[in-house]
Structure 1
Amino acid sequence: MNIILSNASDEPIYGQIVRQIRSLILNSELDPGQSLPSIRQLAKDLGISVITTKRAYEELEKEGLIDSVVGKGSFVSGANPQFIREQRLKQLESKLADIVEESRSLQLTLEELFDHIRLIDQGMEE
């Protein structure tokens, strides 16, 4: 698992960890049941505080993406496919909101935006 942290980012370190692990799970790059590095090991690997990695794992556990077992470690949750789909849709909606905001700043109409999306989609099919 390759996590890249940026000290220049406005996002807190624990948030960067959560975002990247969430992405790995939702994109099926980490499989259900797969073990994650221990909190201490991840902290050591990233050169950060154990408290920071603990907070990130707690957040992921609250989201239902990982399960932590005392004495055994943390594992990717066996969340059902519908839950994973809903989480991915939530990410997609966030990206779409950014795209709509950007298109408004360019003064594109909704139809012009759809035309651009269609062109990109057609280009991906080829």
Structure 2
Amino acid sequence: MGDYTSSGGDFEAFIENEAKRPHQWVNKLQKGYKLPKEKVKSVVSDHSSEALSVARSIEETRAQSANQLVDLKEQELENQLLCADVTKMGPSQRKLHEKELQVLAEKYGWTFDD
């Protein structure tokens, strides 16, 4: 342990040193230490900003993942449509299948020569 005295100058150095490790203030507060109000506001503000930044990052990642999942599901359905066995379909199912294929062709700009 380092030498620490409670004289004014040493206390300022202690505060300056502790400002570099704001997470330790939480432990000290729980043990009954009193902090200067400006230091409390600074530590809380720093942690709040960090927490908001992390939360935004998580939310952006979650939104991107959800969009990717939707895209993958859409691609899977399109592949099922393209690979469907029409020989086992009845006339009404074939008409519906052809309409769905036309929608896909328009979506992707496919053209077919008859």
Note whether the superposition's TM-score is higher than 0.5.
Answer: no
Of the two, which has the highest radius of gyration? 2
TM-score (norm: length of structure 2):
0.30
Normalized per residue, the structure richer in strand is 1
Normalized per residue, the structure richer in helix is 2
